[in-house]
Amino acid sequence: MSALPASAAVGVIGAGTMGAGIAQVAAQAGHPVLLYDAAEGAAERGRAGIKAALDRRVAKGRLAAADADAVLARIALAGRPEDLAPARLVIEAVVERLDVKQAVLGRVEAAAGDEIILASNTSSLSITAIAAGLRRPRRLVGMHFFNPAPVMELVEVVSGAATDPGVAATVHATAAAWGKAPVHARSTPGFIVNRVARPFYAEALRVVQEGAADPATVDAVMTECGGFRMGPFALMDLIGHDVNYAVTASVFAAFHHDRRYAPSLVQKELVEAGWLGRKSGRGFYSYAEGASAPPPATAPAAPPPGAVVVHGATPLDERIAASGLAPDRAAGDGAIRVDGVLLRPSDGRMATEVAAAQGCADVAVYDLALDMAGARRIAVAVAEQSAPGTAAKAAGFFQGLGLDVSPVADTPGLIVTRTVAALANEAAEAVLHGVATPADIDLAMTKGVNYPRGPLAWAEEIGLAKLLAVLENLFAATRDERYRPSLLLRRKALGGTRFHG
């Protein structure tokens, strides 16, 4: 299916944050744009905002002044929804209310010919439900841009029950022609990104709720070890807790309160306190004048290790080789013994459970890294029954490998391990339910929320059988539905097949 030609007019309803951004994108791609907003003066303000954005690009030398003028000249303001009828594609970005969206799209539809394509930028309403209020439901598709629309590449092209596949294909091709990275998604709660990303926040909130680590430590581990651009707490503070909590609550409700998506009481309390994040000057962190970022928990320098024995291949091998440490080698399943302390990568069990199973008290588990050779920090937990000095021995070993050590309480799956397992599990569940393909889910998560790797590709790199074991161990330890392994992940892990060809 081919893209709409640049000569085809594009209508945009709603000239707020998203509508103005979308109008700019379409105009930059060469389309004549008709911009309509119901509020007095809002369309003019939207156009003025676009002009300011283009001027900034001109000032930075990224756009020629003549091109900026041409983009702006392509954006005409419309006085009524009916005025958008000549457009080939009309995208609505009005308030997030089903009745309002249906009413305004209905007015465009009534004035337009059969072939007009209607699109909604909704982030939480069902495309199927919006379409049900229209005369030609097959002509409606979701076109979910991310904020800021001119910058963010991802566009989720969302098909409802009635959406004509040809309409979705045309919108997909058109978004690609606009320089975007479109993905196909089926209209299900949260589509791809707002669903698959839930565990990124939920696991971090859980770690803090359990008292296993504080927000600064979680953020440091997620960025310096997990390779995420931003830690979950810094990101929630940026998004705003009211917005982030509302998205979680809406996904939870839309899934008929499946406990897997349950919102966090920790976040709810912030919302109740009005500590909404950066915008209110306080969230998990303070943004008051002169406030400094709290430091992550970091173990003090400990003596270097004496006897180190590495049993088989471990995630630390490259680092050990680079450190100049010359440990004894023995056969085994990836354990390391440091002066009598047993170190293992997290498999979703608490260090205490590992110690109990192995009949060995002095046990420490360490977290998953995106790239262990390049990591700067590692989260480490020691078993309840371990002798005093166990944590220091573990810390001395990791410090010798050039890693800062964040001691965390003995929680299953530490910080990165449980987060990546839960993200991949949610992605697998979305594939199982036909929401999107594995390739589109991974693309959506790297483009839409900047994850360093798509969750399914990451899962394959870890090994699906290992990942399944992490989830099963987390589930066994917590009996929490959020770790219920997806049937598809189980099939692929046990069957030895892959998500990506």
**Where does this chain bind ligand NAI (CB under 6 A)?**
13-19, 37-39, 42, 93-96, 100, 104, 121-123, 145-147
Provide the 3-class DSSP secondary structure of residue 181: strand
**Do residues 316 and 343 lie in contact, with contact meaning Cβ atoms separated by under 8 Å?**
no
Neighbouring C-beta atoms of residue 246, cutoff 10 Å: 15
Catalytic, 123? Answer yes
Residue of closest CB approach to ligand NAI: 16
Q: What is the DSSP letter of 277?
A: B
Minimum Å distance from CB 90 to ligand NAI?
Answer: 11
Minimum Å distance from CB 13 to ligand NAI?
Answer: 5
The DSSP bridge pattern shows strands 335-338 and 363-366 to be unpaired
Compute CA distances 14 → 45, 236, 261, whole Å.
11, 26, 31
Q: Which is nearer to ligand NAI, 122 or 486 (CB)?
A: 122
**Do residues 152 and 447 lie in contact, with contact meaning Cβ atoms separated by under 8 Å?**
yes
Minimum Å distance from CB 106 to ligand NAI?
Answer: 11
Provide the 3-class DSSP secondary structure of residue 103: helix
Catalytic residue, chosen from 159, 194, 244, 473, is 194
Q: Which is nearer to ligand NAI, 100 or 469 (CB)?
A: 100
Q: Which is nearer to ligand NAI, 111 or 462 (CB)?
A: 111
Minimum Å distance from CB 38 to ligand NAI?
Answer: 4
Q: How far apart are CA 232 and CA 244, in angstroms?
A: 11
Q: Which is nearer to ligand NAI, 37 or 203 (CB)?
A: 37
Q: Which residue has the tokens 């608490």?
A: 350
Minimum Å distance from CB 23 to ligand NAI?
Answer: 11
Catalytic residue, chosen from 120, 121, 123, 126, is 123
Q: Which is nearer to ligand NAI, 95 or 373 (CB)?
A: 95
Catalytic residue, chosen from 156, 224, 353, 426, is 156
**Do residues 387 and 361 lie in contact, with contact meaning Cβ atoms separated by under 8 Å?**
yes
Q: How far apart are CA 79 and CA 43, in angstroms?
A: 9
Name the burial class of residue 295, with classes exposed (0-12), middle (13-18) and buried (19+) by CB atoms within 10 angstroms of its CB: exposed
Structure-derived torsion over alpha carbons of residues 457, 353, 483, 407, reported in degrees to the nearest 10: -70
Q: Which residues participate in catalysis according to the annotation?
A: 123, 144, 156, 194
